[in-house]
A and B are shown apart, each in its own frame.
Chain A
Amino acid sequence: MNLQEMILTLQRYWAEHGCFVMQAYDVEKGAGTMNPMTFLRSIGPEPWSAAYVEPSRRPVDGRYGENPNRLFQHHQFQVVIKPSPDNIQELYLNSLKEIGIDPLEHDIRFVEDNWEAPTLAASGLGWEVWLDGMEITQFTYFQQVGGLEAKPVTSEITYGIERLASYIQDKENVFDLEWHSGYTYHDLYYQSEFEHSKYTFEVSDVEMLFSLFNTYEKEAKRALEENLVFPGYDYVLKCSHTFNQLDAKGAISVTERTGYIGRVRNLARKCAKAYYEQREQLGFPMLKEKEVNVDE
């Protein structure tokens, strides 16, 4: 099964189980959790179910396309369901069968992993899922999002697409993965991996990035003051990515680091609060709609 078929299979599977199949969000981010379809939608009482692929940028992991496992940008397949269904583990395990992983022929384990995202003031409890010793999925029950108590609890499943594919296709090097009949990951991503790594570590303008961070932060605050949650949140994401770029460049000392993370976190908290209030004013409209149907 090539990578494209894998994504299509997962999308179809979760669509059949009541998820909105959404598209990736168009602002740079480090993880699918930061997509407003997870971060904002997991706030408040309204039910929500969504599945999407998220290209996730981690500047610090850039390796000029030379490392078989590390990438500037990898892909996550994200599934969020609120409230967390009773059979969420079974739903997940069945999804693995759909992409050709028969649990009887492997060793699948749920190993404790407590998740924390300091920039989002978010945390949860759950597991990393191991397939024959390899972490293929992060499985989390959100307990806190943007400093607010997550209630009802959202369950989040984050598949590492490249890792799963390397297992399914039995490839050692991520660039050897087949994306679509005869075309490899190398064909599609090698050049951008190289260029982004070079830009991040050698070319990026630190002064400009610092000033961008400040600009984005200011703009996020301004938008939120006008009660514009979504535009405000976009700038929070931009702050976060800019911080990651600076961090990868080694431009932020350890002491300053805590400070910058705190600044992003404050904005995330503001967004969460503003989003909740906005939905509350609207009378939590999704509560009134038919609850998303999740098969037992």
Chain B
Amino acid sequence: MNKRDLILEIGVEEMPARFVTDAMYQLADKVAAWLTENRIAFTEVEHYSTPRRLAVKVKEVAETQDDMEEELRGPAKKIAMDEKGNWSKAAQGFAKGQGVLADDLYFKEVKKTEYVFANRFTTGKPTIELLPELNRVIQTLHFPKNMRWGDMDFKFVRPIKWILFLYGSEVPELEIAGVHAGRNTTGHRFLGEEIEISTSSDYPEDLLGQFVIVHAEERKEAIRNQLNSIQEEENWLIPIDEDLLEEVNNLVEYPTALFGKFDEEFLNLPSEVLIISMKEHQRYFPVRDKEGKLLPYFVTVRNGDHNQLQNVAKGNEKVLRARLKDAQFFYEEDRNKSIDSCMNRLESIVFHEELGTIANKVSRIQKHAERTSELLRLDTDTRKTIQRAASICKFDLVTQMVYEFPELQGVMGEKYAKHFGEEDLVAAAINEHYQPRFASDNLPGTVIGSVLSVADKLDTIVGCFGIGIVPTGSTDPYALRRQAAGVLQILRQKGWPVQLEDLLSVVLDQYEEANLLKNERENVYKQLIEFFNTRLKTVMQDMNVRYDVIDAVLKSSIGRVDLLLARAEILVNELKNDSFKEANESLSRVLNISKNLNEHSSNVIPERFENEEERNLHEHYLAYKKVNDHLDSPENVRHVFNKLKELPQAIDRYFDNTMVNTDDEELRENRQAQMALLSKEICSFADFNQLVF
């Protein structure tokens, strides 16, 4: 069959950089899916993009749609034929509907019923006739934000300027938003011009002649190489931030990297301030020396060639100078304030309308932190440091630097706190209490920072739940999920001897006291537990824990997060071999028999044991309980599990020789009590009933 390459390019006014890559893949995927759906054979799909174009090239696209032979089922035989053996109305209708003659119908048995069938043959159409339908495909491209322009109702990411559409050397019909497909494309905005593409195979090369590197990955590599050569020539280190590179790549069609300089005096500013000024505002790559020290240079990527590069460098230097001058001004102003004056201003900054000001939040954090310190049995000095750090942890929110660069909250707090004479631990905790800021971020290094971080995050989570702000589906405006994940990470890594439930109660107490719970405390608590259970589920899924294990360990209370996760990990490993299956059956037997037993009446009287097996099981129970009661670190979970694994043998022997639900009431009660206690102790590890083999 004859084949031709196909190229489709949508030219637009500059798209937002963050939309480009996703849209490029969407276009390629959707065009490929459309071809497949329409039975048009092809071999390869290539995608291209720049800020001004999205393109897809499909290789060896068949000139004709595949023919289609279908077997279509109609009504059952008894409906399809009348008593005389003629086609009924139903059968005739079916034939007509499918475009076949009634005489061509035949019968076939499906699941013991005979049905009428028809074969339909559809001849494939020429591809060129079908291609105009790609119009609809383009309209299904999804962008986070669309716009209208001119006097049209049509919405797209940015106004469409041209459509290049070639099938071999032919232009299929296509029109969108008043733009008709043609064989022309546009080169670089300043260096190139409008050109005609004669066949699709010329596509990337012809555009390169017009100063457009249309292959996004190649363009990115070109930037990377240019950064590397500057790095080598100047003997620098230019760390490549992949997110920044991705953004820069989608801001240029023909990249040329260049560097500029700034006054050394600005190196007195905190490096975080310099980096954010360069990266966030200007999309520059900061430069370091081989030892990693920040240098007074920056690298930027121009959308153009080498012409007058010094001009471009000079202009960028001027902009950065103005920005750094501003930053320097803020830095000096801020350092002339005092922590107290900043704290006073927090009283007029609203945290949340229903939860009060930031100052209110700070005083709650202080109380949560104090109670947490008690639970952790921290020494007096540490507690004092925690209290000082808690009381000023948000002061930098009203500094000019944080107003200008909100991402620097905490970072500036630490620097300014030191400047104002706070001790290092207090200063560090101000920064640490925001950690982890994102999934792979560092955790607070000190216990002080950790206590504050947990207190701050739980304060937000509990406060929001208390007034009915609960994350649902894709809406989580206060990033409560991220904050919960942060709390769990800290609890896991620090191995605090506290139950998550107790920490939640500490925070709930404050809110209840302040009368800030809009809903019943009990309901809020329930919702919180459910929320954290779901968060733990996510944590475990990321650890590749099987679903049944997740369910098993989440069945009882959460308790210590580190121990819960350690139990899950042990079970995952244990279930890799089948040998645990039998043990699991024995354990489950205990759980099942105890399901309906009343735990309150559980009081085992060893004197009432009748046989050796009862006594034996009781001893194993006590041995297991002893290590379980003293469980205080994830490392010991293995030890507990080993003791637990000794139970099944005793359980089997017990059941072989003992009837729990015996007629003798006294005996029965004692045996039931033994089962209930054992069951409770087993469940504290996991609900083995949930495991699937």
The answer to whether A and B interact is yes
Cross-interface CB contact of A133 among B15, B17, B320, B353, cutoff 8 Å: B320
Cross-interface CB contact of B151 among A83, A89, A106, A110, cutoff 8 Å: A83
Interface residues of B in 665-687 (CB under 8 A from A): none
Residues in A with CB closer than 8 Å to B150 are 83-86, 152-153
A104-B304, A105-B307, A153-B148 given as contacts; is B348 within 8 A of A253 (CB)?
yes
The CA of A134 and the CA of B322, in the complex, are separated in Å by 10
How many residues in A have their beta carbons less than 8 Å from beta carbons of B? Answer: 39
Asked whether A132 lies within 8 Å of B159 as measured between CB atoms, the reply is no
Asked whether B148 lies within 8 Å of A141 as measured between CB atoms, the reply is yes
Nearest-Cβ distance from residue A124 to partner chain B, whole angstroms: 8
Residues in B with CB closer than 8 Å to A86 are 150, 159, 161
Residues in B with CB closer than 8 Å to A167 are 315, 318
Residues in B with CB closer than 8 Å to A83 are 149-151
Asked whether B325 lies within 8 Å of A133 as measured between CB atoms, the reply is no
A86-B150, A151-B148, A153-B149 given as contacts; is B320 within 8 A of A104 (CB)?
no
Cross-interface CB contact of B16 among A106, A112, A143, cutoff 8 Å: A112
The CA of A96 and the CA of B316, in the complex, are separated in Å by 18
The CA of A174 and the CA of B269, in the complex, are separated in Å by 24
The CA of A108 and the CA of B190, in the complex, are separated in Å by 9
The CA of A105 and the CA of B304, in the complex, are separated in Å by 9
The CA of A127 and the CA of B17, in the complex, are separated in Å by 11
Asked whether A134 lies within 8 Å of B319 as measured between CB atoms, the reply is yes
Residues in B with CB closer than 8 Å to A85 are 150
Residues in B with CB closer than 8 Å to A153 are 147-151
Residues in A with CB closer than 8 Å to B284 are 133
> A171: nearest residue on chain B (CB-CB)?
B318
A104-B191, A133-B319, A167-B315 given as contacts; is B148 within 8 A of A255 (CB)?
no
A69-B322, A114-B145, A134-B318 given as contacts; is B308 within 8 A of A106 (CB)?
yes
> A107: nearest residue on chain B (CB-CB)?
B302
B290 at the interface (CB under 8 A from A): no
B642 at the interface (CB under 8 A from A): no
The CA of A103 and the CA of B189, in the complex, are separated in Å by 9
The CA of A155 and the CA of B149, in the complex, are separated in Å by 8
Asked whether A131 lies within 8 Å of B315 as measured between CB atoms, the reply is yes
Asked whether A112 lies within 8 Å of B18 as measured between CB atoms, the reply is yes
Asked whether A172 lies within 8 Å of B16 as measured between CB atoms, the reply is no
B570 at the interface (CB under 8 A from A): no
B300 at the interface (CB under 8 A from A): yes
Interface residues of B in 413-437 (CB under 8 A from A): none
A105-B308, A105-B311 given as contacts; is B319 within 8 A of A132 (CB)?
yes
Interface residues of A in 236-293 (CB under 8 A from B): 253-255
> B321: nearest residue on chain A (CB-CB)?
A172
The CA of A134 and the CA of B307, in the complex, are separated in Å by 19
A103-B189, A141-B148 given as contacts; is B315 within 8 A of A109 (CB)?
no
A69-B326, A86-B159 given as contacts; is B348 within 8 A of A254 (CB)?
yes
Q: Mark A134-171, 1 if CB is under 8 A from B, else 0.
A: 10000001010000001111010000000000010000
A125 at the interface (CB under 8 A from B): yes
Nearest-Cβ distance from residue B14 to partner chain A, whole angstroms: 4
Asked whether A89 lies within 8 Å of B13 as measured between CB atoms, the reply is yes
A118 at the interface (CB under 8 A from B): no
Interface residues of B in 280-314 (CB under 8 A from A): 282, 284, 300, 302-304, 307-308, 311-312, 314
B251 at the interface (CB under 8 A from A): yes
Residues in A with CB closer than 8 Å to B195 are none
Asked whether A151 lies within 8 Å of B303 as measured between CB atoms, the reply is no
Nearest-Cβ distance from residue B531 to partner chain A, whole angstroms: 28
The CA of A107 and the CA of B18, in the complex, are separated in Å by 20
A143-B148, A254-B348 given as contacts; is B322 within 8 A of A133 (CB)?
no
> B150: nearest residue on chain A (CB-CB)?
A83
Residues in A with CB closer than 8 Å to B147 are 124-125, 141, 143, 153
> B178: nearest residue on chain A (CB-CB)?
A86
> A85: nearest residue on chain B (CB-CB)?
B150
B350 at the interface (CB under 8 A from A): yes
Q: Mark A166-202, 1 if CB is under 8 A from B, else 0.
A: 0100001000000000000000000000000000000
Interface centre among A89, A103, A112, A131 (most CB of B within 10 A): A112
The CA of A127 and the CA of B147, in the complex, are separated in Å by 13
A231 at the interface (CB under 8 A from B): no
Nearest-Cβ distance from residue A259 to partner chain B, whole angstroms: 11
A111 at the interface (CB under 8 A from B): yes
Interface centre among B150, B189, B284, B314 (most CB of A within 10 A): B150
Asked whether B318 lies within 8 Å of A172 as measured between CB atoms, the reply is yes
The CA of A243 and the CA of B18, in the complex, are separated in Å by 35
A68 at the interface (CB under 8 A from B): yes
Asked whether A254 lies within 8 Å of B349 as measured between CB atoms, the reply is yes
A127-B14, A133-B319, A153-B149 given as contacts; is B311 within 8 A of A255 (CB)?
no
Interface residues of B in 306-361 (CB under 8 A from A): 307-308, 311-312, 314-316, 318-322, 325-326, 329, 348-350, 353
The CA of A94 and the CA of B377, in the complex, are separated in Å by 72
The CA of A141 and the CA of B159, in the complex, are separated in Å by 10
Residues in B with CB closer than 8 Å to A141 are 147-149, 159
Nearest-Cβ distance from residue A114 to partner chain B, whole angstroms: 7
Asked whether A68 lies within 8 Å of B322 as measured between CB atoms, the reply is yes
Asked whether A112 lies within 8 Å of B17 as measured between CB atoms, the reply is yes
> B353: nearest residue on chain A (CB-CB)?
A255
Asked whether A255 lies within 8 Å of B316 as measured between CB atoms, the reply is no
Q: Mark A73-97, 1 if CB is under 8 A from B, else 0.
A: 0000000000111100100010000
> A155: nearest residue on chain B (CB-CB)?
B149
Residues in B with CB closer than 8 Å to A93 are 189
Q: Mark B89-116, 1 if CB is under 8 A from A, else 0.
A: 0000000000000000000000000000
Q: A106-B315, A132-B316, A153-B151 given. 10 additional CB < 8 A pairs?
A: A69-B322, A69-B326, A86-B150, A104-B304, A105-B308, A107-B302, A111-B14, A133-B316, A172-B321, A255-B350
In the A-B complex, list the 6 residue pairs whose CB atoms are closest, starting with the nearest. A132-B315, A112-B16, A152-B151, A110-B14, A133-B316, A105-B308
> Can you give 18 contacting A-B residue pairs, CB < 8 Å?
A68-B322, A69-B326, A83-B150, A86-B159, A93-B189, A105-B307, A108-B190, A111-B17, A132-B315, A133-B316, A141-B148, A150-B148, A151-B148, A153-B148, A153-B150, A153-B151, A253-B348, A255-B350
